Amino acid sequence: MTTLMEPGTVAPHRSSRRMWAILGLVLLADALDVIDATVTNIAAPTIAGDLHGGEGLVKWLGPAYMLAMGVLLVVAGRLGDKFGQRRLFLLGVGGFTVASAVAGLSPDPGLLIAARVAQGAFGALLIPQGMAIMTKAFDRDMLGKAFGLFGPVLGLSSVGGPVLAGFVISADLFGLSWRPIFLVNVVLGIAGLVMGARILPRDGDGDRSTVVDGWASGLLAVTMFGLLFGLIEGSTNGWGAVPVVSIAVGVLFFAAFARRQRTAAHPLITPSLMRNRGFTSGLVVCLVAVAAGSGLLFVLSLFLQEGLHVSPRGTSLGLVPLTLGLVVAGFAAMGGLVAKLGRTLVFIGLAVDLVGCGWVLALVEHSGTDVGLWALAPAFSVIGVGIGLSFAAIPTVALGDAKPDEAGSASGSFSSIQQLASAIGSAAVTSVFFQAATSGLAHAMEVSLIVVLAVTALSLPVVALMPRTAPAEPEQ
């Protein structure tokens, strides 16, 4: 029986092929997460039209997935410690596969949204387990090679998700329209489940003494659902009692979550981190920047399809300059710019993003819905570069003042914040877009861009409170 080893031990030569297979499986799982988080950016209008879901379905398709992912990521790592990483990984893959099948076969909006929530929840269970398995099972050299592959694979996945969605919908495979973008996960999921059962090292039953604060996770889940439901319901059906009460409940439960963090014996976030000005400032900047960026990417897709009447395939290709700019800038940032420039790179990234958004705003104000994709391409590239630099730099720089024993909690916190911010941003900016659309889609795009510009600009002063430099690389 294969057992997990301590970090830094050397795997037997005969198992090197198995180590590469494990890496491939973990990369597949992470790639599926990124793809499924982005495919609905392109597919949302087509899905809503087919299922007669209207604006509400468009607004919920992305946030439903990211909400479940963000909330459960907070505790998923500890669940793996408690019940075993192998067991949780296989459970996550199996659940994600079933949820994808339900999503692809959904006959109505309600079931589809429920399936998206399940996808996000099971995805959150499996993602941290892959990292933990590799850290324990791989020797130092193999671990370095493994982490070096994550950036390119996830970068290509972020580009490939929307492109895949556009081409699949336009191809109308077997007359299924949008459904194959989810059903393909069933084939990959079954293959991953069989492969995982055969190659993942067994890790016993886990450490049942590990404490998982379910109360805090529940409070956070109700907080986010209350805020998002109120925002989406209010912007879709009017600001009556239901959305107002929902938002109020979200605020109350957030206060309860904050209190729980201060009083719990085993809080989800290490208490010393919350007293670290550099870290908390980074969390705020991350929340604002990711929310604004994610919301912008969603409404740009809506504007191209609904305003410019571009096909899903044309929309995916039209956004390639943005996604390529994002990936290239992200690689450049992690390739040495973060270490050299520290928080200055965050300023640069946000400033470049502002320039790109301002450029698109000027084009839309001048040409309205007659603006062409070729005219938008350079501005989209600038936005991608800005988002790529800032998204890569913010989490790294924010850890500049963190102690080594706080790194795990800090990294997990940022992963969750990024998912939750994506959900908030997608819901908020999309709501602004639809609210303003009564005066025309060009006007809706202009208002959305102004909101994104204002919110992003407000985060700039907070960057000055982040650590000056990123954490130093540990000596080998």
Cβ-count burial 11-27 (b if 16+ within 10 Å, e if not) = beeeeeebbebbbebbb
* pLDDT for residue 156 is more than 70: no
Determine the Cα–Cα distance for residues 441 and 37; give it in Å rounded to an integer. 25
CA-based Rg of the chain, rounded to a whole angstrom? Answer: 22
User: Please, are residues 30 and 153 in contact by the beta-carbon 8 Å criterion?
Assistant: yes
Tens of pLDDT, residue by residue over 4-29, are 444 444 444 446 788 888 888 888 88
Residues 151-160, mean pLDDT to the nearest whole number:
64
Tens of pLDDT, residue by residue over 335-384, are 788 888 988 999 999 999 999 999 999 999 999 999 999 999 999 999 99
pLDDT, residue 151, reads 56
Dihedral, CA of residue 41, residue 43, residue 47 and residue 48, to nearest 10 = 40
Kindly tell me the number of DSSP H helices and DSSP E strands found in the chain. 17, 0
Length of the chain: 476
Which 3 state secondary structure label does DSSP give 58? helix
Determine the Cα–Cα distance for residues 432 and 451; give it in Å rounded to an integer. 8
Determine the Cα–Cα distance for residues 300 and 294; give it in Å rounded to an integer. 10
Determine the Cα–Cα distance for residues 104 and 230; give it in Å rounded to an integer. 27
Distances (CA, A) of 421 to 62, 115, 472: 12, 21, 27
Determine the Cα–Cα distance for residues 173 and 340; give it in Å rounded to an integer. 48
Determine the Cα–Cα distance for residues 302 and 322; give it in Å rounded to an integer. 15
Instruction: Specify the range with the lowest mean pLDDT, choosing from 107-111, 184-188, 217-221.
Output: 217-221
Q: What angle do CA 67, 458, 269 make, to 5 degrees?
A: 40
Beta bridge partners of 286: none
pTM, entire model: 0.78
Determine the Cα–Cα distance for residues 360 and 77; give it in Å rounded to an integer. 40
pLDDT, residue 208, reads 60
How much of the chain, in percent, has pLDDT values that exceed 70?
86
User: Please, are residues 260 and 267 in contact by the beta-carbon 8 Å criterion?
Assistant: yes
Residues 49-62, mean pLDDT to the nearest whole number:
86
User: Please, are residues 88 and 129 in contact by the beta-carbon 8 Å criterion?
Assistant: yes
Determine the Cα–Cα distance for residues 440 and 434; give it in Å rounded to an integer. 10
Look-up of token digits 């087509």: 46
Q: Angle, nearest 10°, between helix axes 277-302 and 343-367?
A: 20
Q: What angle do CA 267, 77, 89 make, to 5 degrees?
A: 155
Beta bridge partners of 202: 3
Determine the Cα–Cα distance for residues 15 and 20; give it in Å rounded to an integer. 9
Determine the Cα–Cα distance for residues 296 and 288; give it in Å rounded to an integer. 12
Closest by CA position to 231, among listed 42, 429, 53? 429
* Tokens coding 189: 């999921």
Determine the Cα–Cα distance for residues 82 and 114; give it in Å rounded to an integer. 27
Q: Which amino acid is at 286?
A: C
User: Please, are residues 256 and 290 in contact by the beta-carbon 8 Å criterion?
Assistant: no
Q: DSSP letters along 90-108, please?
A: HHHHHHHHHHHHHHHH-SS
pLDDT, residue 154, reads 66
User: Please, are residues 422 and 66 in contact by the beta-carbon 8 Å criterion?
Assistant: yes
Per the prediction, the chain carries an average pLDDT of 82
Tens of pLDDT, residue by residue over 379-408, are 999 999 998 898 888 888 887 776 665 655
For residues 105 and 63, the model is more confident at 105
Cβ-count burial 322-355 (b if 16+ within 10 Å, e if not) = bbbbbbbbbebbbeebbbebbbbbbbbbbbbbbe
Which 3 state secondary structure label does DSSP give 202? strand
Determine the Cα–Cα distance for residues 231 and 237; give it in Å rounded to an integer. 10
* Tokens coding 467: 């650590």
